[in-house]
Amino acid sequence: MTIIVPTDFSENARFAANYACELAESKGHNIHLLHCYTSSSIGENKGEGTNNPTLLADQKIQELQTQLLKSHPDLHISIECSRSLIIDKLTELSQSGKYALIVMGASGASKLQPLYYGSTTVAVASKSEVPVIVIPNQSFSFKIDHVALLTNFKSEELDTLKEFQEIIAIPNDLTLIHVYKENQKPENVKEDLDSWAYNIREMGSINQVRTITEAINKEDVELDSVPEVVAKVIAEANPQIVLITPSRKTFFERLFRSSVSKEIALELSKPAFFDKI
């Protein structure tokens, strides 16, 4: 299987490339580096002593390939530069049947003008026919001992968990996270969550299944909506990756843009696995 890694040659994109290489190395997958030309990457690089100038991006992607192979010499890493728009190209590749996964950086060269995070990341995750892993803007080692799954007790969550286990690995520990409205009775919520945890344990592959519930407290000015509460719980649970089902993608859009009420940028603090559509 092959993992697509889009890059704009920024540090953030490099974080994603390193993570993808560690994942590929552990699973025996291949890497396909992809760059879609931009106005800043299409300039010519003439070099010294050559009459055949190349585009700057063509040189940079070859350099990135060489750097990654130094750290991961056993990997097969292919490269591609395209004149297509990034969303269109990734959607096309995801439909080809040749790729198992997309691993993306959380943003491009500037957080103020995100290339992959925000609308683009959500658009790719919403259109892709393979799962998408989004890596926040920092270095993460590939580890999946502890995984979190956002749950509303839907059967598709089991499909997401199975998809993750087939492509990535079976985690040792799973934390189920459920956020509920304060008018619901905590004991009823706990009963539903415990029942759902039992169903997952019955699948027989995961050693330990934990549960976390959190009510939305509208009196807490720091946590005025479901996304804020979810972000807080994820930070406290501290999983190595968060699994997100297709039905929760729209829900997570708010984590990728400014909070209107407090004018702060909410960011997912952990790598996130968005299941395919």
| 160 in Cβ contact with 189 (< 8 Å) | no
pLDDT in tens, 91-120: 999 999 999 999 988 765 544 443 444 457
Domain 2-135, CATH among 3.30.1490.190, 1.10.286.10, 3.30.1180.20, 3.40.50.620: 3.40.50.620
| 117 in Cβ contact with 106 (< 8 Å) | yes
Give pLDDT, residue 203. Answer: 79
Measured distance CA(210)–CA(197) in Å, rounded: 8
Give pLDDT, residue 137. Answer: 81
CATH architecture group of domain 146-274:
3-Layer(aba) Sandwich (3.40)
In the predicted model, residues of the chain with pLDDT beneath 70 are: 39-54, 107-119, 122, 217-227, 247-268, 277
Give pLDDT, residue 80. Answer: 94
Whether this prediction's pTM lies above 0.85 is answered by: no
Domain residues of the chain, as ranges? 2-135, 146-274
Of 111, 107, 116, 58, give the one whose Cα is nearest residue 87. Answer: 116
Give pLDDT, residue 123. Answer: 74
Long-range pairs for 122-125: beta carbons < 8 A, 24 or more residues apart: 122/249, 122/252, 122/253, 122/256, 123/87, 124/86, 124/87, 124/90, 124/91, 125/249, 125/274
Quickly list DSSP for 29-60. Answer: -EEEEEEE--TTT-SEE--SS-S--EEHHHHH
Run of H or E residues at 102 = strand 101-105
> Are 2-135 and 146-274 in the same CATH fold?
yes
